[in-house]
Chains A and B, each alone.
Chain A
């Protein structure tokens, strides 16, 4: 278990809003979000469906433009960056774990894990070497050559975690990483995430409404109707 070691601000959101549509069909997905995430912290965004959790991490991760407010990740404001600069920065500094894993079916586990390195210009051989090492770290060293359809749900999520971490990003965002997993596997995945993804110079934001994993969070931000309803104070390190 890695203890929380907050040292600096990873994410800062001030009065962030996001609307979709216009006129009568205007939808307020975010209604003024104020949020800070520290490095070394695992923040969990929780709340009912449609409350804006996914929209918020999309804005934080720079894959969705906000409508108003200020938001920066490690001091970088995406709205001030060109599209290509934002894409490049995201590729170098943010890791993603998706609910549906999004592993490319025709690639082996190692190739899937290597994708962020390839996108950052590394050659295939070196990327695969590092991917195999990362898979070893997440306990899948013997499945490097397996295709996604040869892996269980938990194993696929571990490949996705390896992919999210392989390029040593400073912010990792996870969308419902355990929703497709049974209780025991979900627990193991969260243990793994805490073990390998949380560090003194990086932060982890997890969107979930799986109450079984709330205990893993350092702080929990409860969202409701596009707002952060409450943020529980940082917890003492938990011994898993």
Chain B
């Protein structure tokens, strides 16, 4: 009876497309909104993902997330280096500084200062220049998006395109001259501000004057040293917080989940997509069932058991569910692909596809339930009522 069920479903084109559109809409909205949410959350930990050389991040015990900088005294670095199990420990400066553009405007930038000797913790991908070029006088490496976007120079003629910052250009950082020696590619961050990498000592000269300037200490554990144990040891011996990279990512994401309205806003959009999709698909599917009630009654009279009708209705529901799911997820993926080089935060891990599939299954179950209730209660004697 599967073929009969499918032909019944697709025979009524208007309702068939109505149900598919309802589920497509729900699937698209759920996937797209969740993908943007995951993309945004991913951006909150972009810097942590890019700085993967260390095992442990050491910071002030009150730090709540990666951009919550509570500087340490430089001497803390030496205390951490003295702890058993530490292979190396390096300073990282992370802070905001104002860059003065050639048109007179100011642009806030993320300044990252790397250990002068090793340059460990640098950008994950260099597009122009080399990381070692940071050792040149006043050298900085600017991220690609910053160079072509917020830090770009003004157009050569009025109304023209901004000119991207390139190697050899000079900008002014907090009244200090800085020369671009490289262009890098980094993960986009939540605030979308340009990233500027330089050495730790130079970064501290760009930074506003403060007594303490050390943002984080990046620690590598010795071979065979359990990371969690090392974190506990650093905590107990220094009074500082020590987190694995993964743990710091989780702390950061938790902060944004807890203290921003992002999850609620996206959650509402997802729930709305689910509800609207369920309403459209459910109502249309129910109408489809009502229209076919006399045929279901005839089938019942002719010997179709409730189980057979259950299978037919579930097959119909799952078919439109599968088609709507495929279209919705495909559309969402296309939107993500089309916007891959824009500011849109879009990340579509496989888990989202599973979540959307579960939501679509739930929609199918809910829409089928009404129809099944109607058909199960249907008296086959209805067929003799003209």
Contacts and interface: CB of A to CB of B under 8 A. Distances in A.
Nearest to B298: A102
A163 to B, nearest CB: 8
A102 B295 contact: yes
A90 interface: yes
Given A88-B305, A106-B12, A119-B1, A99 B386 contact: yes
Contacts of A100: 294, 386
Interface string A92-113: 1010101110101111000100
A87 B294 contact: no
B117 interface: no
A196 interface: no
Interface in B283-330: 292, 294-295, 297-305, 308
A18 B381 CA distance: 13
B384 interface: yes
Nearest to B292: A104
B374 interface: no
B176 interface: no
B35 to A, nearest CB: 37
Nearest to A84: B305
Interface string A132-165: 0000000000000000000000000000000100
B77 interface: no
A130 to B, nearest CB: 15
A63 interface: yes
Interface in B328-386: 379-381, 383-386
B8 A90 contact: no
A104 B295 contact: yes
Given A106-B11, A119-B1, A64 B303 contact: no
A92 B303 contact: yes
Interface residues of B, number: 28
Contacts of B292: 104
A81 interface: no
Contacts of A115: 4, 299, 302
B230 to A, nearest CB: 66
A7 interface: no
B302 A119 contact: yes
Interface residues of A, number: 33
B294 A91 contact: no
B294 to A, nearest CB: 6
A224 to B, nearest CB: 19
Nearest to A119: B303
Tell me whether chain B's interface is mostly helix, strand or loop, or mixed: helix
Contact of A118 (B4, B11, B297, B298): B4
A232 B303 CA distance: 32
Contact of B301 (A61, A92, A106, A124): A61
A65 to B, nearest CB: 10
B380 A107 contact: no
A178 interface: no
Contacts of B379: 63-64
A98 B294 CA distance: 11
Given A58-B384, A64-B381, A87 B4 contact: no
Candidate in A98, A100, A124 with the most chain B CB atoms within 10 angstroms: A98
B103 to A, nearest CB: 67
Candidate in B12, B299, B301, B379 with the most chain A CB atoms within 10 angstroms: B301
B3 interface: yes
Contacts of A111: 3-4, 7
A176 interface: yes
A57 B384 contact: yes
Given A102-B295, A104-B295, A91 B303 contact: yes
Nearest to B1: A118
Contacts of A99: 384, 386
A26 to B, nearest CB: 18
A120 interface: yes
B11 A98 contact: no
B228 interface: no
B264 interface: no
A58 B302 CA distance: 12
B257 interface: no
Interface in A22-67: 54, 57-58, 61, 63-64
Given A100-B386, A104-B295, A87 B7 contact: no
Nearest to B13: A106
A116 interface: yes
A218 interface: no
B288 to A, nearest CB: 11
Interface string B66-83: 000000000000000000
B10 interface: yes
Contacts of A105: 11
B383 A96 contact: yes
Contacts of A124: 3
Contact of A102 (B1, B11, B383): B383
Contacts of B7: 104, 106-107, 111
B381 A63 contact: yes
Nearest to B2: A124
Given A87-B304, A118-B1, A119-B303, 20 more contacts: A54-B385, A63-B379, A64-B381, A90-B301, A90-B303, A91-B303, A94-B303, A99-B384, A100-B386, A102-B294, A102-B295, A102-B383, A104-B7, A104-B11, A106-B7, A106-B8, A115-B299, A118-B4, A119-B302, A119-B308
6 contacts: A64-B381, A90-B303, A94-B303, A104-B295, A118-B4, A119-B299
Q: Would you list the 6 A-B pairs with minimal beta carbon distance, nearest first?
A: A91-B303, A106-B11, A102-B298, A63-B380, A58-B381, A64-B381
